[in-house]
Chains A and B, each alone.
Chain A
Amino acid sequence: MKITRKEFLCIAGLAAAGAGAAKAVQTIGGADPAAPQASGAAKRWGMVIDFQKCRADRDCDDCLNACRAAHNVPDIPEREREVKWVWKERYEKVFPFQQTDYTRRAFEGHVLPILCNQCANPACVRVCPTAATWKREDGIVMMDWHRCIGCRYCMAACPYGSRSFNWSDPRPHIGKLTSEFPTRTKGVVEKCNFCEERLANGRVPACVEACRRKAIVFGDLNDEKSTVRQLLRARYSIQRTPELGTGPSVFYLI
């Protein structure tokens, strides 16, 4: 049998494509060995932030600083390219549609801490093309910085602006480096992780621990006896744009 060069190239190309397709089918059909699995009992971590307590101390940055130090969050000088895990935002920006002309007058300019809402139905997870971000069974929306390709689709999908991108190497902008937590590299997205690394060791998140007025309360939303549930029973609470169906796990007591 005689094969011309062109035929050979065609056959070789088809064989390569076939092998690739087989691999793809295998991957789609088989379970991902690295798929996220159960982490502990059926918990759903949640957070309650008391706006009344928090706004009493307008210049307090304790929670922000604790988070920065715990997670090597860089201090990027350019405001437009900041990396934010938990940060202070003005009331009228956080709750744009939950105010009357009069609440606006009363609350305008007051700041409150915002962070990733660890949604029950996260849009960022839905859009991620590599499952670099996913929802754990305890409700935490995790990030795998090894897998993130930096497409920033999750940032477009997040309705809370909770995700930040590393436009350049963050290391030069980190004040005091801790070896307890990795830094990030340029080209990946990051966000608040609800201090999952501290939870694994039985500690509450750094911001909760740091708050001098105990304005941030953390606990299991699935446990009726937890402090968060007691607070949510006793006080009137709101979430950020719940009408989008995202189901935020962060609640604000007004």
Chain B
Amino acid sequence: MFMLEKAMIGSRRYWGWLAFLLVLIALGGVCYLRQLRYGLIVTGLSRDVTWGLYIAQFTFFVGVAASAVMVVLPYYLHDVRQFQKITILGELLAVSSVTMCMLFILVDMGQPARVLNVLRYPTLHSLMFWDMVSLGGYLALNAVISVVMLSAERNGVPAPRWIKPVAILSIPWAVSIHTVTAFLYSGLPGRTFWLTAILAPRFLASAFASGPALLILLCLLLRRLTSFDAGQEAIRKLGVIVAYAMSISVFFVLLELFTVFYSRIPEEMEHFRFLFVGLEGQRHLVPWMWSSVAAASVALVLLLVPRLRERDTVLAAASVLVFVSLWIEKGLGLIVGGFVPSPLGSVTRYSPTAPEWTIVLGVWAIGALMITVFYKITVSVREVR
């Protein structure tokens, strides 16, 4: 079923990697059982910083999921043939990412057994309800598209005609998932750090940089490890996309900084101060944020000079830098920075605990496992052909 049999045949290296991931998942599972038993006290979260690593990871990976649109859109709307081989990779990456997002939400809940209350008592004025709708829909769309496309490819027949409108529908849907996720934050009256109309565009720009960066790395990895070659042209084009998106993303952050620091409204400035210079002696995020800035700067230089960008090793390095930079910016700074200082002006230290990191690692491993199996199936289907 779903060509899963193709994932059952593999080299020793393949199975070793899967076993490694399963060990990580098991470790995460053990820590999660601990959390279930003792409550979220096993995390570093507190009264003032109520969301941390889990929700930040959720936010980051919604971006990665949405970025599938960066290969789907050129292929379906602009007929960019080079992307033909990798649209499926983007869609499968989206499926894994959305699954990870849902797991991150689940592990963040205080009463996970009651999660279906969101469906039992649908509350239309809550953005969380709409986020669930959009994420669920996006998962379904991408799962259907990838299964149908891959089956057609395996059977050597053209894909059914109805799949094209579905694929086109997934384009605005991808934009919607990250917009609604930004709305989760940008509509809260007391959180000035998030209360900005540019949050959704910022989210999209950083998503369209980090997602394709990851896709470039995955394509290069596939070329090295398997017989599958995405094609030099496709990888180059992805590089251009990352270059544009990263520039726009950095530009948006600079816009934010101008508004905040030229207006000099204290409560607006304090969040950025906390992140970049520290507040009331709390400087633990400062090195992280400056690493993000450094990584972004170097990545921009590497990406914006065509001669550099066209070399695979440079592109790989730039992709790693983009991914790390945005992971810090969105997966750490954006959420924690919004909570500190609190509405009452208190500055609270948040440092994720070991169980918290292990649970996050477990969810990442689930995502990696899904990606591995999905890409294995894809590569096997193409090898046979």
Chain A residues within 8 Å of B, Cβ to Cβ: 5-6, 9, 24, 27-28, 32, 34, 80-82, 84, 89, 93-94, 96, 123, 126-132, 147-153, 155-161, 164-169, 185-189, 241, 244-246
Q: Are A130 and B190 in contact (CB under 8 A)?
A: no
CB<8 Å pairs between A and B, sample of 9: A93-B345, A147-B121, A150-B40, A152-B51, A160-B344, A165-B40, A167-B45, A186-B40, A241-B343
Most-contacted residue by chain A among B46, B110, B120 (CB, 10 A): B110
Query: Which of B111, B120, B121, B346 is within 8 Å of A188, CB to CB?
Result: B111
Beyond A123-B188, A127-B127, A164-B47, whether A187 also contacts B110 by CB under 8 A is yes
Q: Are B126 and A128 in contact (CB under 8 A)?
A: yes
Query: Which of A5, A9, A81, A188 is within 8 Å of B110, CB to CB?
Result: A188
Considering the chains assembled together, what is the distance between the CA atoms of A202 and B343 in angstroms? 34
On chain A, the residues within 8 Å of B127 by CB distance are: 127
- Nearest-CB residue, chain B, relative to A78: B46
Query: Which of B47, B118, B342 is within 8 Å of A81, CB to CB?
Result: B47
Beyond A24-B122, A152-B51, whether A160 also contacts B190 by CB under 8 A is yes
Beyond A32-B121, A151-B128, A165-B47, whether A186 also contacts B189 by CB under 8 A is no
Q: Are A161 and B188 in contact (CB under 8 A)?
A: no
Q: Are A131 and B114 in contact (CB under 8 A)?
A: no
Whether B13 sits at the interface, judged by CB under 8 Å, is no
On chain B, the residues within 8 Å of A127 by CB distance are: 126-128, 187-188
**Complex interface residues of chain B between 15 and 44 (CB less than 8 A to chain A):** 38-41
Query: Which of A28, A129, A189 is within 8 Å of B126, CB to CB?
Result: A129
Query: Which of B39, B111, B123, B345 is within 8 Å of A148, CB to CB?
Result: B111
Whether B191 sits at the interface, judged by CB under 8 Å, is yes
Given contacts A27-B120, A152-B50, A165-B50, 7 further A-B contacts (CB under 8 A): A5-B1, A80-B48, A81-B41, A89-B344, A123-B188, A149-B111, A168-B41
Whether B119 sits at the interface, judged by CB under 8 Å, is yes
Beyond A82-B47, A153-B128, A156-B51, whether A130 also contacts B118 by CB under 8 A is yes
**Count of A-B residue pairs with CB < 8 Å:** 152
Q: Are B190 and A123 in contact (CB under 8 A)?
A: yes
Q: Are B46 and A81 in contact (CB under 8 A)?
A: yes
On chain A, the residues within 8 Å of B267 by CB distance are: 96
Query: Which of B109, B121, B348 is within 8 Å of A150, CB to CB?
Result: B109
Shortest CB distance A25–B (Å)? 10
Considering the chains assembled together, what is the distance between the CA atoms of A9 and B122 in angstroms? 29
Most-contacted residue by chain A among B105, B111, B267 (CB, 10 A): B111
Beyond A151-B108, A187-B109, whether A157 also contacts B190 by CB under 8 A is yes
Q: Are A132 and B50 in contact (CB under 8 A)?
A: no
The list of the 4 closest CB pairs from A to B, nearest first, reads: A150-B110, A159-B190, A187-B110, A80-B46
On chain A, the residues within 8 Å of B105 by CB distance are: 151
Q: Are A130 and B344 in contact (CB under 8 A)?
A: no
Q: Are A93 and B122 in contact (CB under 8 A)?
A: no
Q: Are A129 and B48 in contact (CB under 8 A)?
A: no
Whether B124 sits at the interface, judged by CB under 8 Å, is yes
Q: Are A152 and B189 in contact (CB under 8 A)?
A: no
- Nearest-CB residue, chain A, relative to B49: A80
Considering the chains assembled together, what is the distance between the CA atoms of A244 and B267 in angstroms? 14
Considering the chains assembled together, what is the distance between the CA atoms of A186 and B113 in angstroms? 12
Q: Are A94 and B344 in contact (CB under 8 A)?
A: yes
- Nearest-CB residue, chain A, relative to B114: A149
On chain B, the residues within 8 Å of A167 by CB distance are: 39-41, 45-46
Considering the chains assembled together, what is the distance between the CA atoms of A169 and B110 in angstroms? 11
Shortest CB distance B182–A (Å)? 14
Whether B115 sits at the interface, judged by CB under 8 Å, is yes
On chain B, the residues within 8 Å of A155 by CB distance are: 47, 50
Q: Are A156 and B118 in contact (CB under 8 A)?
A: no
On chain B, the residues within 8 Å of A153 by CB distance are: 126, 128, 184
On chain A, the residues within 8 Å of B110 by CB distance are: 148-152, 165-166, 186-189
Q: Are B121 and A130 in contact (CB under 8 A)?
A: yes
On chain A, the residues within 8 Å of B345 by CB distance are: 93, 96
Considering the chains assembled together, what is the distance between the CA atoms of A34 and B120 in angstroms? 11
On chain A, the residues within 8 Å of B109 by CB distance are: 149-151, 187
Interface string of B181-212 (1 = CB under 8 A from A): 00011011111000000000000000000000
On chain A, the residues within 8 Å of B120 by CB distance are: 27, 130
Beyond A127-B127, A131-B121, A149-B115, whether A161 also contacts B48 by CB under 8 A is yes
Considering the chains assembled together, what is the distance between the CA atoms of A89 and B342 in angstroms? 13
Q: Are B190 and A80 in contact (CB under 8 A)?
A: no
